[in-house]
Amino acid sequence: MTPLHELRMALRLLLRDLRAGELTLIAIAVVIAVAGVTTVGFFTDRVQLALNRQANQLLGADLVIAQDRALPAELVQEAQRRQLGVTQMLRFPSMAVRGDKNVLADIKVVAAGYPLRGEVRIADKLYAADRRAQGIPAPGTVWADERILSRLAVAVGDKISIGNKGLQISAVLTQEPDAAIGFINAGPRVMLNEADLAATGLVQTGSRLRYRLQIAGSAEAVDSYRGWLGARLQPGQRIEGIRDARPEIRSALERAEKFLNIAALVSVLLAATAIALAARRFLQRHLDACAMLRCLGAGQGQLMRMYLLHFTVLGAAASLIGCIAGALAQQALAYWLGSVVAVELPRPGWLPAAQGMVTGLALLLSFALPPIVALGRVPTLRVLRRDLGTPGARGATGYALGYAVITGMIFWKASDPRLGAYVVLGFSGAMLVAGALAWLLLKGVSGLRNRGISWRFGIANLRRRPLGTVIQVIALGLGLMALLTLTLIRNDLIGAWQASLPPEAPNRFLVNIQDDQVAQLQRFFAARNVAAPQMHPMIRGRLVSVNGRKVGESEFADERARRQIAREFNLSWAASLPKDNRIVSGRWWSAANAPREQFSMEEGVAQRLGIKVGDRLTFDIAGSPVTATVTSLRKVDWDSFNVNFFLIAPPGLLDGQPVSYVTSFYLPPRHNDLLNALVQQFPNLLVIDVAQIMAQVQIMMTQVSKAVQFVFLFTLLAGLVVFYAAMASTQDERIQQAAVMRTLGASRAQLTRAHLAEFAVIGALAGLVAAAGASGLGFVLAVKVLNLSYNFSPLAWVAGVALGSAGIALAGHLGTRRVLSTPPMLVLRELG
Amino acid sequence: MTILHGVSFSVAAGEAVAVVGVSGSGKSTLLALMAGLDTPSSGGVRIAGQDLFALDEDGRAALRGRSMGFVFQSFQLLAAMTALENVMVPLELAGADGGRDKAAALLQRVGLSERLHHYPKQLSGGEQQRVAIARAFATSPSILLADEPTGNLDAATGAQVIDLMFELNRERNTTLVLVTHDETLSARCGRVIRLAAGTLQA
């Protein structure tokens, strides 16, 4: 036979098997695995592409130098000397006020020349057609976005106050290049001319100012300027070019992508199980035909090549369908998550589709290969003697390739050997535990055997193939566990967290309180019969050296550590240990005459930066160095919502440094008049609404868990395919059983009950495994991650068992309806 | 296609009848019709006066459960159940009490008291057929239908099993219809019905 003949024959075999339904489950398993993987691939690819395309736009320039303090004039002069476009920009949060309404706004102060890249668009009134803005707001006027206008209930032409200055809104801001953080919307925006900045009186000690020097020009000029800058860059100054735009979003996205990919791999793993089960059945049903073909002169190699082609074509077709399903599903996901993504997403590239095809083919071939090899080796004598058995069913070793492929996929998707190893170990461990649990449960349900014929029959069926039953229970259990974790357990955790908050936990933070305002504020609160909250001093300083050695962000791999080094620390002083703090190592200063050169550091940040008790830290505070030794590490209960600091010094060490104060307090509901009066009297204060921030965090958590839930839908589907694949391998025996039972006088109802009992038990066991897994996960999350005490939710167990038994009874019933209508006549014939 | 044509006979209570014929003569189809396992395109079967095909599928199953026992060539035990549980099945289906004791007693009667908790695949062919015989007599049926009961057994084992079946049949005065192509077996029955190409031979 020529290769062309072989291909034709392989295709003919494939078509015949497809028509006979021999490949349906295998194809569905591949489609689900590929759809899960490509959904994640397409979606994250679109977000990445959007990020790349927007990089230039996001910067509003070709190069940006950012710092928390005013940038040295030298940088501007050098850029001007090189004929580069330059403009300075300043951003800070402040309250925007109109009458009795106020809103925390993101103020952007711009100068002539802004923006260097991209365009600002404005409109004459809310929701009117917008146009490209010429220049920047005139002095005395501001441009404000829709959120400012609606929250303050103002229109173009009205005046609002920023700090001490009244400013007229002259246009609605609809688009700006360096808008927000791109994907997470920043606060409501007010754009202000730099000429008005001084009059607002907002540039004060403790103000959260972010200066940005924007530079644009020819690529060579910008590169050469960047080179010049390199050596002169000081701690705290950061360069952002197009290539390093938004590193924090990029890395957050990479983490999310990894996580979603690994979640998608759970369905790949289940699909692999289904393929292995279905391929085994395929082998058993094709041995006779293959023996016949060999009798008729087909060589071993020929048979193997034919079936290899057969499965390759099948795999390619199923993977293609999976890719299409993934493309549709990611569209649904993007639509569903609409509000997470503030920008329009571009169309995805082809790479995720290619990865999907590779995944599907690798999965199918690696798990179908043992049966293919076995088919090729079928002894010709089987034509005469059917009992010659199955060749080369070498059990676990046959699947070594499959294990290797799955492990490879995990390492590929984790793109970090350590994470990959953790996931592989985690998966294997979880499987073993779930398997052991399922096996024990299976032993445990034997008691049900004595509860009448339906139960006896159902349980007997389960115990007849304990391995198959255990696989079904694990597969379904995993799917159900994902569901339970994301619904009940998530709600439990949020509930437990909320319950752990004291009822009158502070819900407002006051930031930016000046030295001379402390006493005024205390009088303000006293006059309104509100307990005056404790004012904490706050000093900003940059960590410059540890034990005399300079520190730079490049030394740290951890994202949070790098950011911590790049930014300024908030330092404070206190005589006694704050009440939400607990010393975990070292000692707190007790006597009033204790040495002044001491720091107490928060445990988490110390761990991230690798700092221990005894280390000497030097901070640059407003240009002057302050050095002291770390004498204690504290554990802080951040959930208390009280003001807390990473670093505290004893009174005295920080005397004479520029200080501002912060406080937090509980504002009872319906006391907004207090807030309004506060903002009117102290326009420079920032009121941070913790409740609102928490609401935003919760929205984000909900959306993230929605995305994960979406991906876990594929897990549930894959679990069902495993269930059906395992069931298909018992189909012949079920048909015989049904025929015997009918002959012995069983009614259709009795048979149905027996089947329902069997499937309900599988479902209930899967539900128990799922509840155990979800509760375990919830416990670990609560105790290890969230520091909450965890109450095991009985609902998860009830829901797991109820959902599992009802759902699987239904699914199983649908899968065995054909068996129930078996004519009893079959008992008289030999079953093939 | 007509498999049986113009076949009409009656079997008296307590009688033992053998149905013989070559392969494809319609013996199995005849047995299936007598048991109500299959339905005829025309004609009828009466069991103790009851028209079998006036009943629906469930009705016929119930009737089988009440009044018929079966022994098959390939034993047809339920692989998932022990010997004892297999014998209990018809009792439980009929909703009888004390099934376990009755089944254990029957297994003792067929010489398998040591094998109650073995699964079919742990039993030899002869033992499996003994379990099947115990199962067939579990509900004390008035009719026993046997389809080539020795077909899958070697000669010596087959002879033992057949002796056991006839013994029990006599003890309980059951009506026996035995399908076989084994002339020595048919000779042990009171009457022989011969089938050829779907019709009765004289």
Q: Which residues of A touch B125 (CB under 8 A)?
A: none
Q: Which residues of A touch B79 (CB under 8 A)?
A: 464, 733, 737
**pLDDT at position A395:** 53
Taking CB atoms and an 8 Å limit, are B93 and A746 in contact across chains?
yes
Helix residue ranges, H only, A452-558: 453-464, 466-484, 490-500, 517-527
**Would strands A616-621 and A624-636 be described as parallel, antiparallel, or unpaired?**
antiparallel
Sign of the alpha-carbon torsion through A469, A474, A475, A481: positive
pTM here is: 0.72
Taking CB atoms and an 8 Å limit, are A453 and B81 in contact across chains?
no
**Would strands A210-216 and A85-98 be described as parallel, antiparallel, or unpaired?**
antiparallel
A452 touches chain B (CB under 8 A): yes
What are the C-alpha distances in Å from A504 to residues A523, A591, A664, A666?
22, 33, 11, 6
DSSP A129: P
Structure tokens at A520: 């005024």
DSSP A785: I
In this complex, the residue of B37, B93, B94 whose CB is nearest that of residue A824 is B37
A52 touches chain B (CB under 8 A): no
- Which residue from B minimizes the CA distance to A463? B80
Taking CB atoms and an 8 Å limit, are B37 and A461 in contact across chains?
no
Structure tokens at A301: 């190699």
What are the C-alpha distances in Å from A149 to residues A154, A157, A169?
5, 11, 9
Q: Are the CB atoms for A762 and A808 separated by under 8 Å?
A: yes
Place of tokens 């029959």: A457
- Which residue from B minimizes the CA distance to A465? B80
Q: Which residues of B touch A455 (CB under 8 A)?
A: none
**pLDDT at position A179:** 55
> Nearest-CA distance from B63 to chain A in Å?
7
DSSP A634: E
Helix residue ranges, H only, A638-747: 672-681, 690-728, 731-743
Computed over every residue of chain B, the mean pLDDT equals 90
Position A380: which residue type?
Answer: T
What angle in degrees, to the nearest 10, is found between the helix axes of A247-295 and A400-414? 160
- Which residue from B minimizes the CA distance to A452? B92
Q: Are the CB atoms for A641 and A664 separated by under 8 Å?
A: yes
A355-385 burial, b for 16+ CB within 10 Å, e for fewer?
bbbebbbbbbbbbbbbbbbbbbebeeebeee
In this complex, the residue of B58, B72, B135 whose CB is nearest that of residue A827 is B72
**What ipTM did this prediction achieve?**
0.88
d(CA B142, CA B139): 9
Hey, is A189 helix, strand or coil?
strand
A448 touches chain B (CB under 8 A): no
Q: Which residues of A touch B33 (CB under 8 A)?
A: none
A825 touches chain B (CB under 8 A): yes
**pLDDT at position A180:** 45
Hey, is A792 helix, strand or coil?
coil
Q: Which residues of B touch A746 (CB under 8 A)?
A: 61, 65, 93
> What structural domains and CATH numbers belong to chain B?
16-80+141-201 (3.40.50.300)
Q: What is the CA radius of gyration of chain A?
A: 34
Query: What is the CA angle A249-A254-A256, rounded to 5?
Result: 95
Taking CB atoms and an 8 Å limit, are B78 and A747 in contact across chains?
no
Interface test with B, best of A744, A748, A820 (most B CBs within 10 A): A744
Place of tokens 């008291």: B113
Taking CB atoms and an 8 Å limit, are A827 and B38 in contact across chains?
no
Structure tokens at A818: 């054909």
Q: List A residues 750-809 in contact with B (Cβ-Cβ < 8 A).
A: 750
**Would strands A165-175 and A141-145 be described as parallel, antiparallel, or unpaired?**
parallel
- Which residue from B minimizes the CA distance to A733? B79
Interface test with B, best of A462, A743, A829 (most B CBs within 10 A): A743
d(CA A361, CA A370): 15
- Which residue from A minimizes the CA distance to B87? A744
> Nearest-CA distance from A451 to chain B in Å?
11
> Nearest-CA distance from B134 to chain A in Å?
13
A463 touches chain B (CB under 8 A): yes
Q: Which residues pair with A537 in a beta bridge?
A: A661
**pLDDT at position A394:** 52
Hey, is A596 helix, strand or coil?
coil
User: At residue B134, does pLDDT exceed 90?
Assistant: yes
Hey, is A764 helix, strand or coil?
helix
Q: Which residues of A touch B92 (CB under 8 A)?
A: 452-453, 456
The number of residues making up chain B comes to 202
d(CA B9, CA B143): 16
In this complex, the residue of B38, B88, B90 whose CB is nearest that of residue A745 is B90
d(CA A65, CA A78): 13
d(CA A33, CA A275): 11
**pLDDT at position A618:** 93
Q: Which residues of A touch B135 (CB under 8 A)?
A: 744
d(CA A225, CA A93): 31
Count residue pairs from A and B with Cβ separation < 8 A: 85
pLDDT, averaged per 10 consecutive residues of chain A (832 residues), comes to 78 84 89 92 79 62 81 88 90 87 88 84 85 91 89 91 91 76 60 91 79 84 84 74 56 71 84 88 82 78 85 94 93 74 67 91 88 76 62 60 87 82 84 88 80 81 86 89 81 75 78 88 86 86 89 77 79 89 89 82 90 92 89 85 87 86 82 78 79 66 74 87 86 86 88 90 92 86 75 85 92 86 71 35
Q: Which residues of B touch A733 (CB under 8 A)?
A: 79
d(CA A483, CA A489): 9
Taking CB atoms and an 8 Å limit, are B93 and A750 in contact across chains?
yes
Q: Which residues of B touch A736 (CB under 8 A)?
A: 76
Residue ranges of domains in chain A: 1-57+244-415, 63-241, 431-504+690-832, 508-665
Q: Which residues of B touch A729 (CB under 8 A)?
A: none
In this complex, the residue of B32, B90, B135 whose CB is nearest that of residue A825 is B32
Q: Which residues of B touch A737 (CB under 8 A)?
A: 78-80
Closest by CA position to A388, among listed A467, A284, A299:
A284
Taking CB atoms and an 8 Å limit, are B28 and A463 in contact across chains?
no
d(CA A382, CA A175): 76
Place of tokens 């951890």: A558
Interface test with A, best of B37, B82, B177 (most A CBs within 10 A): B37
Query: What is the CA angle A482-A768-A783, rounded to 5?
Result: 60
What DSSP string runs through A43-68? Answer: HHHHHHHHHHHHHHHHHTSSEEEEES
Position A518: which residue type?
Answer: V
**Secondary element (H or E) of residue B126:** helix B125-137
Taking CB atoms and an 8 Å limit, are B80 and A823 in contact across chains?
no
Taking CB atoms and an 8 Å limit, are A461 and B80 in contact across chains?
yes
In this complex, the residue of B28, B64, B88 whose CB is nearest that of residue A745 is B64
Position B51: which residue type?
Answer: D
> Nearest-CA distance from B133 to chain A in Å?
13
Extended beta strands in B50-190, E state = 50-51, 68-71, 143-147, 175-180
Backbone angles phi, psi at A485, to 5 degrees: -60, -45
Please state whether A665 falls in left (phi above 0), alpha (psi between -120 and 50) or beta: beta
Q: Which residues of B touch A827 (CB under 8 A)?
A: 37, 70, 72, 76
Q: Which residues pair with B195 in a beta bridge?
A: B200
d(CA B112, CA B100): 15
